[in-house]
Amino acid sequence: MDALLALSTELAGAVEQAARYVVGVNARRRFGSTGVHWRPGLIITADHTVEVDEDITVTTPDGRTLAATVAGRDPAIDIAVLRVDAGDLAVAEIATEPARVGHIVLAIGRGPRASWGLVSAIGDGRRRHPETGDWLSLDLTLYPGFSGGPLIDARGRVVGMTTSGAARHFQIAIPAGAVGRTVDELMRRGRIPRPYLGVGGQSVRLSEALRERLRTDQRSAVIVVDVQPDSPAAAAGLMVGDVIVSLGGARITEPGDLRSVLRPQQVGETVTLSVARGGDPRDVRLTVGERTRRS
């Protein structure tokens, strides 16, 4: 039983280690969520748990309450970054190697509270965000309030940020690498830009004939019902009635996909949209704009 004892001690030690940099995030009405002190003064949490932009606080492991402001949000991968005056709050140790299927991992919630399990798969089968690295699917329970907390390995190092908000029925974690890139983007630009296309659409079913002509097996796409003047979509020549099938290689099956497939770092980049215009497939090159506060 020595190996079991050693593992048990290692897991408890990992939780103790993580408890030094895990905070409570108080940014929604019902109950709080969890955050990770990722870099000095920057707390990351799950974007869907940040329901307000003002009067946000975080609770430190020793019970202090710190005022926090939203430094940036990336709803596409469910990350929000908060700025705090962290003082001597410990900073998370981030794992340098990615998690592997079969690794024992722990999800940590404010308190600390812990649950354990395995990395059961990498990717959710849809690969919606190929450039962010795939989500980690977890065989463990994310209890209420755990979202935004760290997924740690048996040594207490962060391998991801857990969230139950991005994919209902799935317990997932955003890999630490993707979280790090979002934080990098924030540091580089001073904010997390929000991508902007300037197009409104509705879901439309693709007929068998159209699917064949487009060489796709997807059953729905998005028909453009509105192109905002002076927008990236207008500049690219997108027209009402165009059917958008994919954007930058990612499938567009419903209007929400137009927002969720774009990454903050793609602002200013040119992407290719596959559209059907009058039943004929064509590619449209579009330079992604940045959504201002008002638009």
Partner 1 sequence: MIASAPLDFAGLADTLRRVTVAISDDGAARGSGVLWPRGHVVTNAHVVRRSRVIIGTVESDHLQAELVARSVDDDLALLRLVGIELPTARLTETAARVGSLVVAVGNPLGLRGALTAGIVHGIGPITRNGAPWIHADIRLAPGNSGGPLADVSGAVVGINAMVAGGLALAVPIARVLEFVRSAGVAPR
Interface residues with partner 1 (CB under 8 A) are 1-16, 19, 106, 111-116, 140-141, 143-144
**In the beta sheet, which residues pair with residue 281?**
276
In the complex with partner 1, the residue whose CB is nearer, 3 or 209, is 3
> Which lies closer to partner 1 via its Cβ, residue 13 or residue 256?
13
Smallest gap from Cβ 99 to partner 1, in A, equals 17
Q: Confirm if 111 and 34 have CB atoms less than 8 A apart.
A: no
Closer CB to partner 1, 18 or 71, in the complex: 18
Q: Which is nearer to partner 1, 157 or 251 (CB)?
A: 157
Q: How far is the CB of 170 from partner 1 (least distance, A)?
A: 16
Least separation in angstroms between CB 232 and partner 1 = 46
Tell me how far, at minimum, the Cβ of 116 lies from partner 1, in Å.
Answer: 5
Widest pairwise Cα distance in the chain: 70
CB nearer partner 1, residue 16 or residue 184: 16
Query: In terms of CB distance, is 41 or 112 closer to partner 1?
Result: 112
- CA triple 79-91-185, angle to 5 deg: 40
Q: Which is nearer to partner 1, 116 or 254 (CB)?
A: 116
Peptide bond into 281 cis (omega under 30): no
For residue 79, what are its two tokens?
A: 């990350």
Least Cβ distance, residue 24 to partner 1 (angstroms): 13
User: Least CB distance from residue 96 to partner 1, whole Å?
Assistant: 18
CA angle 53-57-60, nearest 5°? 150
Residue 116 phi/psi, 5-degree rounding, is: -130, 160
Q: Are 56 and 50 in contact (CB under 8 A)?
A: yes
Q: How far is the CB of 39 from partner 1 (least distance, A)?
A: 25
Q: Does the CA dihedral 152-158-160-163 come out positive or negative?
A: positive
Contacts 24+ apart (CB under 8 A), 85-91: 85/41, 86/37, 86/40, 86/41, 86/43, 89/21, 89/23, 89/37, 89/60, 89/61, 90/20, 90/21, 90/37, 91/21, 91/37, 91/38, 91/39, 91/40
